[in-house]
Structure 1
């Protein structure tokens, strides 16, 4: 679990969650439009989505540590290589490489390791592990901005890549094993396995082949995909801060606050959802996200903007908590994994988020239009969730 935390912090947190600090200095020096540069994230998302099936196919066949370490080194080398790039197509190619290697490192590795090593407290362990990406996303923008201001963005890229290696490689080389049995151990809580197996045998749900053609699934799919657009906003928070007169250091600070908000929400929103239900927790998250976008649009002082960034970062838990919980609530637990895997394909909708936000700035010279568009998107998400939940009674009558 600790290793997965550092894997998330040193890989996803460093490359994707902190990558927004480079958009302004790179565009200023090389003359790119912000939307054009941010398009590399679209290539990343498409490549990641296309690579998931291959990772699932080859992960059981190859040596896990070699596979994971190789993919991570590809990520680190690509991050370092960005420091010598001069053309947009090079960033687009880098986005593809990040997507292919990141399919294992960013997403699959920690999930599979926690699944294999924990029987009891699996959700808690996964939440702590995934929190690492937010903690990494909190520290790396500050560290990266310091590097940009002292040695320039070209040297900052390889410096961050080196820091990533220091954080992650000790775990991929010496700690991780795919299964506890590889070290003569049993999963945590294995003694509860038989009782849990009996419980799972009695679980009910709607088969995936039936679920994916229902109105409720279509709504959840669209909700997850549209929500994924908001991942693109994070990359432009530093640019937004500079566009209203703040320094690059403050821009890195609000990006860090957004990642801190995500980390806190990751730890508490699961508990909140259990207490008040998925509908209430989802509407609260959508509402406070809309409030944060309004704050970005009208507030100018440092402290309110920091607070808005923290609250905005909490929106990211919708993908990790709200969507899976909705699927469980509507379709049951028996076929949960299959239905969730289909819903993950909705991420292809969100792959255009960063480019769209950047294009809005390029066209208008301001991010305000994209913030109001985000509020409209959140309203659409609320409608989609409401429609899906109206189908709950009908769907549960079809559980098998």
Structure 2
């Protein structure tokens, strides 16, 4: 049994980056022998074996095998990978096996496809993800790779991707330092439209320059995503920020730059997108709420106590504080994701938290116990919480007036 370090670990080692995960290629052994040694098999289409002690992944060479030499088997496997920079193996004695000149592309800072790239279209998303991750190091797409992906998109090869695999790549991209590059790359390659048409449609949609100096809605959404990344590491919050204005893509052009009612339309589009990509309910719910109620948050100081309370109820904020925190961060990112507004304060977030605390402090159990008519309990509690919010609003206004003086 011989082992070869492969894939990202070799790439990152050559780039001088920290190595997080190690994947191994093994020769001279069968699947049955690995299992007999205590390795646990996972996966079906492409079986991987987990090491019995450290759970690192070991795989047998892909390819027809046959009577080929060990090095030929390793080369056959490497050629099956996505990018040349990921198609390098390091042997136990320190030799590099590099059939596609991946080390040369690492030095040239090029992302280049392998001969088998087109066999699995999900690699287009992986390419965009690597572009986002390695762009700070100066990496660019090779011209022939850019042409290939554009042709794949034009030929409809991205139309039937497995939703779960698409979501897996998106959520990994959202965890990167600058996931906006991922979406910018997909759009440049013509791949955003078949994968996220609701987002792609926003580019070129005009907004009022008075509120949005950047004007273009698609540009705005990527600016919001970047602000969300500065505020939160959570992919759910970042996704909600990115998708908050989907409804503007369905505004009739004759009504531009106004987008009346885009919040409700956006919430419906979020539902369709999340259903199509099998996005988990937790993320879907947050994205829908941000789409529908972000303007409520921006206008928080103008809202009546009853409207504030209903908004809190829609957010389930009286029970789930973490949901409110995520919502407010996405709304703050929206407010700052505009040209010239990047450093603007967002007091609406603290105000929303203040009224939430006031509403949550109401002793609902005592109110329910004193009610003569049980059917009136919900209305009694609603009115009590509205009064508490009204008092909180007065305290906030007094504090603001004092600060101004």
**TM-score tier (shorter):** under 0.3
| TM, length-normalised to structure 2 | 0.23
Relative contact order (alpha carbons < 8 A, sep ≥ 6): 1 or 2 greater?
1
Considering fraction of residues, name the structure with more helix: 1
| TM, length-normalised to structure 1 | 0.23
**Max Rg structure:** 2
